Amino acid sequence: MQRRKSSIHYHTFPTTPPVSRGAPLGNDSRISTGSPDFFSDDGRSNVSKTSVNTNGRGGGGGGGGDSSDDDQSTIPKKQLLTLAIISLAEQTALNSISPYLPEMAGTFPDADQRKVGLYVGIVASSFAAAQFATNFFWGRLSDRIGRKPVILFGTLSTAVCFMAFGFCRTLWQAIVVQAIMGLVNGNAGIVSTILGEITDKSNQSSAFKYLPVVYGIGGITGPLIGGVLVHPVTGEPSGPITKLFAKNPYLLPNAVSAGVLLLDLLFATFLLDESSKEAKRLPPLGERIKNLFVWLWEFTSSSRPSYTRVSQNYRDESEAEEEEDSSPDSTDDSGSSSPPALFPNVAAPVSYRSILTPPIIIFLITYAIFNLSNISYNSLYPIFISSPPPTGRGLSPKEIGLSLSFVGVVTIIFQLILFGPLRVCLGNLWGYRFALAGFVAAFWAMPFVGYIDPANEQSTKIWLWIGLYSVLLLKTVATVVGLTCAMLLITNASPKPSTLGTLNGLAQTLSAGGRAIGPLISGGLFTISTGVTNKGEFLAWGAFGGVAGVGFGLSLWGVGGKRFVDEEGGEGEDPDNGAESQ
């Protein structure tokens, strides 16, 4: 399903429509006639200052998604549900690792227990570093061949990697498997791209707000799988299955995660529709795969390639009519067939200079810091909470899994009930700034969570959990607000819908860079902090709190001003090209 347009131009002529249908304008019916803001001066993103719903009527809702029901386009529920299933399966699988990873790293041969934090950081960083190397490629590739093939490949490959991770017995095996998993998985950016393409300004915020809810559910199911299913065999194994799980105590949660991803693959194969306009001109995905294998076979043989004889019936009739005058004929003068339909004929790519304006560059830097802070917190937390006192708090993997599930519950409740009013009050940009400030407070508060005193275990444990849940609550709220607002800001920054995958890929690449160095540095700092006697844990937590503070300062200083794109992300920004942009 193609992203609906909400342009200020008519579909037939490049003429600015009237500001009303003749009825008197209300106090809140304001139409912006100047250059719209991406980062407006009041800190609010222009989510829906001027929108046109499916009936072509202008909506004057302001404040980012506060349009009335009459002005809001219908959200494609089937596609939204499919994307939710894809994200839920992936988040469930990825979140299942953190509860047992510190214990797993400590069981590796020749593992130094004082360096477990460093081992965890290296394993987690290998995944993010690999994503840093390939996320931009996956985003660019999805602009060429479509979103669906990239998602299907990433899901299948990730499932295979999870099965392999369950059999890892050395540090290097774990690092290699996590690196391969990161190389083949670029789904997070592609999902955000599809959401941007199937929504318009009138319903964009309503659709995007459900993504953190899905992440929250994955934050519940994943840690439960990882925390509860480890060490499934505690006694003497009696059969081949129990012997397998006894020999590989971390295999069961990984096998379950792989099964969830394979189930997700089935849903995506049959329910996910292609959203890229260019990819819709191609034959169905199955036909393209067959063409590719036929080409490979004939290319390595003496036969003349015949896969290129692709019928024009695959081209959508409406697309063919729109491009009747400009598209090349399916046959040349000699009557030969058209070139292979493995890739669409796309227009010249948009220059990077038109995408990367100074405010966007600074915003992407802060987005990398946001993800650096988030992943560092997520990496530090299980190490800190499982390490023995005085540096850590000495909790078990099951207790860690339960605490992380609490985070998921908070995410869902906050996103469904409180996030909407908060975003209306703050706007996208100030919501994003609020998230960075929340990270600063959460980092600096965590080292002051209390200890369990064996002499008064019950009382001190209650106070530990109260303090722990309070800090986790603050961090979770910051994550939910920051993630949702950042996705909306990135989506609205694209100069054209055809470059949305590229921009999301770039954003995910930079965020992966932050996520790559975060666990490594945080694990190293925590390892150093174990040798500090007085509040040594503050070394790692305080350092990353300072990094989040730098991101907050940059968001105040450099992210703002005018963004010279229209409200569909730049398509049709030139009035002379209004008709073409439709």
> Per the domain annotation, does 178 fall within a domain?
yes
DSSP run (H or E) holding 52: strand 51-52
Residue 226 exposed, middle or buried by CB count within 10 Å (0-12, 13-18, 19+): buried
The confidence score (pLDDT) of residue 278 equals 64
Does residue 181 sit in the same domain as residue 300?
no
Q: Is residue 328 reached through a cis peptide bond, with omega within 30 degrees of 0 on the bond before it? A: no
> Per the domain annotation, does 10 fall within a domain?
no
> Per the domain annotation, does 343 fall within a domain?
no
Does residue 102 sit in the same domain as residue 165?
yes
What are the tokens at 7?
């342009």
- In CATH, what number is assigned to the domain containing residue 217? 1.20.1250.20
Cα–Cα distance list, 364 to 121, 187, 199, 296 (Å): 24, 19, 23, 40
Write the pLDDT tens digit of every residue in 395-444. 887 788 888 888 778 888 887 888 888 888 888 888 999 999 999 999 99
Distance in angstroms (rounded) separating the CA atoms of residues 567 and 35 = 10
Does residue 271 sit in the same domain as residue 304?
no
> Per the domain annotation, does 327 fall within a domain?
no
Helices (H), 415-499: 419-445, 457-493
Length of the chain: 582
Q: What angle, rounded to 10 degrees, do the helices at 358-386 and 538-557 form? A: 160
Does residue 254 sit in the same domain as residue 287?
no
Distance in angstroms (rounded) separating the CA atoms of residues 189 and 420 = 23
HSE-up (13 A, CA, CB side) for residue 273 = 15
Beta bridge mates, 52: 58
What are the tokens at 19?
């500001």
The confidence score (pLDDT) of residue 289 equals 60
Distance in angstroms (rounded) separating the CA atoms of residues 371 and 377 = 10
Distance in angstroms (rounded) separating the CA atoms of residues 127 and 251 = 19
Does residue 303 sit in the same domain as residue 377?
no
**Full domain range(s) for residue 304:** 283-320
Does residue 395 sit in the same domain as residue 438?
yes
Place of tokens 């540095």: 521
> Per the domain annotation, does 565 fall within a domain?
no
The confidence score (pLDDT) of residue 382 equals 86
What's the structural domain count of the chain? Answer: 2
Does residue 182 sit in the same domain as residue 265?
yes
The confidence score (pLDDT) of residue 325 equals 44
Does residue 418 sit in the same domain as residue 441?
yes
The confidence score (pLDDT) of residue 370 equals 93
198: phi then psi, degrees, rounded to nearest 5: -95, 0
Q: What residues of the chain score a pLDDT lower than 50?
A: 2-16, 19-20, 22-38, 40-69, 303-322, 324-343, 346, 562-582
Does residue 307 sit in the same domain as residue 202?
no
The confidence score (pLDDT) of residue 298 equals 56
Write the pLDDT tens digit of every residue in 116-140. 888 888 998 899 889 888 888 888 8
Distance in angstroms (rounded) separating the CA atoms of residues 548 and 168 = 34
- What's the pTM value of the predicted model, to 2 decimals? 0.61
Collect all residues with Cβ–Cβ distance below 8 Å to 41 and sequence separation of at least 6. 560, 561
Q: How far separated are the first and last CA of the chain, in Å rounded?
A: 16
Does residue 265 sit in the same domain as residue 161?
yes
Distance in angstroms (rounded) separating the CA atoms of residues 27 and 36 = 20
Q: 10 Å Cβ neighbour count for 336?
A: 11
Distance in angstroms (rounded) separating the CA atoms of residues 464 and 393 = 9
Does residue 312 sit in the same domain as residue 376?
no
Does residue 173 sit in the same domain as residue 157?
yes
What are the tokens at 463?
């106070």
